[in-house]
Structure 1
Amino acid sequence: MDRVDDLVIGTGQAGKPLAGALAESGRRVVVVEAHDRVGGTCVLTGCTPTKAMVASARVAHLARRAADYGVEIGDVSIDLGRVRERKRTVVDDFSSGSRRGLEKHDTLELVFGFARFTGERRVEVDLRAGGRRTLEAERVFVNTGTRNRVLPLDGLDAVPWLDNASIMELDEVPEHLIVLGGGFIGLEFGQMFRRFGAEVTIVEAAGRLVGREDPEVSEALRKMLDDDGIAIRLDSRAAAVTRHGAGVRLTVETEAGEASIAGSHLLMAVGRVPATEGLGTDAAGIERTDRGFIRVNERLETTAEGVWALGDVNGGPPFTHIAYDDFRIVQRNLLEAAAPFGSGPATRDDRLVPYTLFTDPQLGRIGLTETQAREAGHAVRIAHLPMTRVARAIETDETRGFMKAVVDGDTDRILGAAILGPEGGEVATILQLAMMGDLPWTRLRDTALSHPTWGESLNNLFTTLE
């Protein structure tokens, strides 16, 4: 048995930087990674590859619109194999850079294999190279992330289907892609492959897309995708799937009865589940929630002494930047001298959670929705500006969407915002900083911002405050 100071399971956006910080402090660290590459979901099958392919899809979209700008370029064709190779190059660069960053530490050892707890802070690793290794650590940090959720559909075992990783390995554009799920993953891939030239149908069991958002946002996204030529089937619960020639036929249940959709490819995009299967959490005394996520407190400590869980596996907001913030919390609490913002206890309580849906245009979000603000009892005031009134949007001929901010009428503080428009995530970041600085909405209305930028539109947004 090998005894080490710290054991990190997973090299995602929390595990990797934490392992490096622990090694820098002089502790002996072992990092166990189940995949054959470093980087976690974000780098290998999530943010990095999908946004690389989204960029290719946007170029195709703009190329088809070239005549709108007075540019004649002829027919546009897609070489999906080249799109895939570009994506692979970006992923390989990110992953190899992350691996080099870990291996530069003298007191850190990177091990590739599958870890499972066999006792308190004791782990057995089935090595990818063969054999088994047992490790015991003073502290253990779990950063195993999530995996694709699979609906238990009748007939699924007998048909080919895709997940978020395998769909990016296609070398030909599907004739007709059926997307199960109207959340972030489904919408991003649906629009992407529509722009690559596929017929696309998105099937969602609920009555609207991205149900976490205000109905106004959900409807605007539905209309936007409909304008792009994507078929949207709401209130349609997938029930069964069968082979249909070389493709698939999906049976859905609706209020009007059963219906079927035939397509060439099926994408399963109905959410994510925690990657804890086979981890042996019970043996370590680690409690999990009803949904299978590792239960943690505000400092990300599990119910087992000396064990922390960081990133998506702990059931927090499922975003890369939140996983990295989990790293910051643990770093500050355990390595105070190395913390960038001084020493002292850090928790995940009350942190702002921004996120961006990378459709085109983007949906940038921060803080409370209007619905949440009203439910919380705030004296809600709304600022609303369609992108057709934004100078930069008119100049670039990208006027789909709107900007919406939620303000507390008693304090004049910004409670949240939804920016559905080009670079919506960037504009939402400006609002996040204003919220962090406790600025009243009037400061954004009355501040001179560079013209003509997307951010400048905040001046006009806040002149519409109801």
Structure 2
Amino acid sequence: MSATAFDAIIIGSGQAGNPLATALAEAGRHVALIEENRLGGSCINYGCSPTKTLLATAERLHQLRTAATVAAPEPPGAAQLKVDLAAAVERKDAVISKMRKGIRASLTQTHDITLLEGHATFTGPHALHVTLANGRTKDITAPLIFINTGTHAAIPDISGLADAGYLTTTQLLDLKELPEHLIILGGGYIGLEFSQMFRRFGSHVTIVEAAPQLLEREDDDVCRSLQAALGQEGIEFVMGARAHNVSRSPSGNITVSVTSSTGERRLRGSHLLVATGRQPNSNKLGLGFAGVKTDDKGYILVDNNLRTNVRGVYALGDIHPGPQFTHLAYDDFRVVRDALLHGRKRSARERPLPYVVFTDPPLARIGLSEGQAQEQKIPYRVATMPVSSIGRAQHTGEKQGFWKVLVGNDDRLLGATLLGPEAGEVMAVIEVAMAGRLKYQQLQDMIFAHPTWAEGLNNVFRDLKRVGK
């Protein structure tokens, strides 16, 4: 059987693949989109959307329990309130199902896109063999191929882990019964979001982190403050500890044995979540038949324009090295779209990296941290301000956290780290100021509506201190 020819093939329907399929089809290209699992990729199915939907449930429970802090009547039994996890998961599933249906309708009803549901492997630089979900196969070719296959949970090599059993975040999102005691391996942003979620649902939660601090990209003071806030809610942290054995008792309880500078410790819980990182979904693509190069971890190597070493083959989203965020994957789409359809080339490496950890208080950052500025030997001035000094904090009672801003010798912003309510929204204001190359005085003197969180930008630069020359 001869192969079917397309103008472009996209492997994976994530946050880069879907909009690219639409853009190419609207430009008159004949496009094939291949998806092995569920439409929408990681963000919609087991990442941002389901996680943040369940976090909203956890936040509402927390508000009920803490109503008395603002002199509101405490609902009967609020202190002992636990989640109806099955109902919360049902709501999450309904939200995600609606999103998936919207994606399918957009891809199949509006554009010249052939949707192939199955697994694709390269048979040559521009040829693919697709094993469809119905068992049939199809050979296809295209001069342009875009790989957008994302990642999966990385499972550490720990004695007994496979036999004892564990949960990935994907599995935890579908759990219908509340864990009595959830042990989490990994103190990155995924582990932190799930820790607070399940603590507020009513579980006991313990985080085991091999590093001496949380969130390797962040400054020590930021990590200490966030850990303290989460600790106040009853989350236990075992830091600088490496898990070396996992076992399960006949009754079903999990024991995690860890080694730290203080000695050996055994942690016992009902459930174990592995949140120790991600691995690229590249090992089953047959990349060798195409000649596509990867690094030693399996991430597909790309240049500044997201091109692989094979002409006409691109890698988008989490499958290539670098930070793994939905908004960066979507910008990968724009980088490729603009280069191919509009003749505008832009480097995928020269772009801002905003991100938010959706704990409570949330943590947001744009630009350089203080540690990064020191590593790069960039002179800067720094100012910090406690969230409690902002007028809006007095009104709401949300006073945890602080803001930190870095300013260069030219009075322009180098970066900001915000730990506090609505941190992501305020960070967006700072990002726009950085994009417009505004000087910090323009934010300091800007008229913000009173009383808003952004109004804190009038005061945060007040006590800038010089570091470096």
TM-based fold match above 0.5? yes
* Alignment match of 1:185 (pick from 181, 186, 190): 190
- Distance, in Å, in 2 between the alignment partners of 1:99 and 1:176 is 38
Alignment of 1:64-79 (within 5 A): 64-72=65-73, 73-75=75-77, 76-79=81-84
**Alignment partner, residue 366 of structure 2:** 366
Structure 1 position 7, deviation (Å):
0.4
**Alignment partner, residue 294 of structure 1:** 300
Alignment of 1:56-455 (within 5 A): 56-72=57-73, 73-75=75-77, 76-244=81-249, 245-336=251-342, 343-408=343-408, 410-455=409-454
Q: Which runs of 5+ in 1 are unaligned?
A: 337-342
Tell me if the contact between 1:366 and 1:428 (Cα under 8 Å) persists in the aligned partners.
yes
- Distance, in Å, in 2 between the alignment partners of 1:130 and 1:71 is 59
Structure 1 position 46, deviation (Å):
0.1
- Distance, in Å, in 1 between the alignment partners of 2:157 and 2:62 is 35
- Distance, in Å, in 2 between the alignment partners of 1:206 and 1:106 is 48
1:26 aligns to 2:28 (yes or no): yes
Q: Match for 1:323: what amino acid?
A: A
Tell me if the contact between 1:23 and 1:105 (Cα under 8 Å) persists in the aligned partners.
no
- Distance, in Å, in 2 between the alignment partners of 1:290 and 1:461 is 43
Post-superposition Cα deviations, 1:2-29, rounded to whole Å, max 9, x if no partner, equal: 1111100000000000001111111111
- Secondary structure, aligned partner of 1:169: coil
- Secondary structure, aligned partner of 2:103: helix
Q: Match for 2:426: what amino acid?
A: V
Structure 1 position 241, deviation (Å):
0.3
- Distance, in Å, in 1 between the alignment partners of 2:85 and 2:394 is 32
- Distance, in Å, in 1 between the alignment partners of 2:243 and 2:360 is 27
- Distance, in Å, in 2 between the alignment partners of 1:305 and 1:440 is 42
Structure 1 position 164, deviation (Å):
0.9
Tell me if the contact between 1:235 and 1:254 (Cα under 8 Å) persists in the aligned partners.
yes
Structure 1 position 344, deviation (Å):
2.1
Tell me if the contact between 2:22 and 2:111 (Cα under 8 Å) persists in the aligned partners.
no
- Secondary structure, aligned partner of 1:212: coil
Post-superposition Cα deviations, 1:209-253, rounded to whole Å, max 9, x if no partner, equal: 111101111111111111110000001001110003212100111
- Secondary structure, aligned partner of 2:378: coil
Q: Which stretch of structure 1 is more off in the superposition, 70-79 or 15-24?
A: 70-79
Post-superposition Cα deviations, 1:77-122, rounded to whole Å, max 9, x if no partner, equal: 3211111011101111111111111112342111110111111111
Structure 1 position 131, deviation (Å):
1.6
Q: Which runs of 4+ in 1 moved over 4 A?
A: none
- Secondary structure, aligned partner of 2:135: coil
Q: Which runs of 5+ in 2 are unaligned?
A: none
- Secondary structure, aligned partner of 2:447: coil
- Secondary structure, aligned partner of 1:114: strand
- Distance, in Å, in 2 between the alignment partners of 1:141 and 1:79 is 42
- Distance, in Å, in 2 between the alignment partners of 1:444 and 1:259 is 50
Q: Match for 1:206: what amino acid?
A: A
Structure 1 position 316, deviation (Å):
2.4
Identity fraction in percent: 44
- Distance, in Å, in 2 between the alignment partners of 1:437 and 1:299 is 24
Structure 1 position 460, deviation (Å):
1.1
**Alignment partner, residue 12 of structure 1:** 14
- Distance, in Å, in 2 between the alignment partners of 1:216 and 1:367 is 17
- Distance, in Å, in 1 between the alignment partners of 2:228 and 2:57 is 23
Structure 1 position 256, deviation (Å):
2.8
The alignment's TM-score, normalised by the length of structure 1, stands at 0.97
Tell me if the contact between 1:24 and 1:105 (Cα under 8 Å) persists in the aligned partners.
no
**Alignment partner, residue 340 of structure 1:** none
1:462 aligns to 2:461 (yes or no): yes
Q: Match for 1:332: what amino acid?
A: D
- Distance, in Å, in 2 between the alignment partners of 1:248 and 1:151 is 17
Post-superposition Cα deviations, 1:51-77, rounded to whole Å, max 9, x if no partner, equal: 000100000111100111222212233
- Secondary structure, aligned partner of 1:232: strand
- Secondary structure, aligned partner of 2:365: strand
- Distance, in Å, in 2 between the alignment partners of 1:393 and 1:464 is 20
Structure 1 position 166, deviation (Å):
0.6
- Secondary structure, aligned partner of 2:142: strand
Post-superposition Cα deviations, 1:187-229, rounded to whole Å, max 9, x if no partner, equal: 0000100000000000000000111101111111111111110
**Alignment partner, residue 40 of structure 2:** 39
Structure 1 position 374, deviation (Å):
1.9
- Distance, in Å, in 1 between the alignment partners of 2:332 and 2:83 is 40
How large is the RMSD of aligned CA atoms in angstroms?
Answer: 1.0
Q: Which stretch of structure 1 is more off in the superposition, 14-23 or 121-130?
A: 121-130
**Alignment partner, residue 339 of structure 1:** none
- Distance, in Å, in 2 between the alignment partners of 1:74 and 1:385 is 38
- Secondary structure, aligned partner of 1:462: coil
- Secondary structure, aligned partner of 1:349: coil
- Distance, in Å, in 2 between the alignment partners of 1:458 and 1:383 is 11
